[in-house]
Amino acid sequence: MKSVPKDTRGAIVELLKKHKRMTASEIAGELDLHSMTVRQHLSILEREGYIHHYREKISRGRPVYVYKLTREAKESLFPNNYPRFALGTLDALVVIDGAEKVNQLLEYQMEAKIAKCLDNTEGKSLAKKIEVLAAFLDEEGYQVEISETPNAYILKEHNCALESIAQQYPQLCQLELSLLKRILEVPVERECHMPTGDSICSYKVLKMDTSHGVRK
């Protein structure tokens, strides 16, 4: 996870986290800086995806620009306890109802993800399904990269959003492989695996004509 930089832009991010929404003038006043200097930093932060702005009408005078942190900034720059909480919840479920209940819970969540993806991939070509799936996984925090060979697509995940949980509950990884197979409806092979020491997770998606069972 990234950390908030200890400089002017870092101070701006901290202010926006505290106050939720601020104008450039308000930020300049808090930091005792010129408004133009603050706007330059805001422009860089927005370009990097940490903030966004919108116009807000006020009762008198011209509309003002208001700045807020993006969801991505909140999740990547500020510590959270989500993975530890989720892991603790699964551990408690094992104690209360047994390991099989954990499997049922994880399978239920995976089915929900599959259903969501299938709504957007039904009737589409394999190339389009790969595109939709990559976008979905990116939203989940997996930092996906797609490459292509004559016989396959290679799907690389540069980040495992659930790595700490997968270390203790490896069935998550098997469920992910199942998700890919069911959404893409072609053979999928795991090539690299972060929990076993690889730097990424990657899958080979074979180019198959599922209606005839032959390579495309």
Tokens 């090539």 belong to which residue?
191
53: Cα separation from own chain's centroid: 22
Q: What token pair was written down for 53?
A: 């702005």
- pLDDT at residue 81, as a whole number: 58
Domain boundaries, the chain: 8-77, 107-215
The length of the chain, given as a count of residues: 216
pLDDT in tens, 106-140: 888 888 888 888 888 888 999 999 999 998 888 88
Least Cα distance to 154 among 118, 117, 110, 200 occurs for 200
The residues, any chain, with a CB within 8 Å of residue 106's CB and separated by 6 or more, are 169, 171, 172, 175
The residues, any chain, with a CB within 8 Å of residue 82's CB and separated by 6 or more, are none
- What is d(CA 161, CA 2) in angstroms, rounded to the nearest whole number? 14
- What is d(CA 132, CA 153) in angstroms, rounded to the nearest whole number? 14
- Segment 162-175 shows an average pLDDT of 83
- Does the pTM exceed 0.85? no
- pLDDT at residue 214, as a whole number: 43
Question: In whole numbers, what is the pLDDT of the chain averaged over residues?
Answer: 84
pLDDT in tens, 8-57: 898 998 899 888 889 999 999 999 999 999 999 999 999 988 899 988 87
Topology (CATH) of 8-77: Arc Repressor Mutant, subunit A (1.10.10)
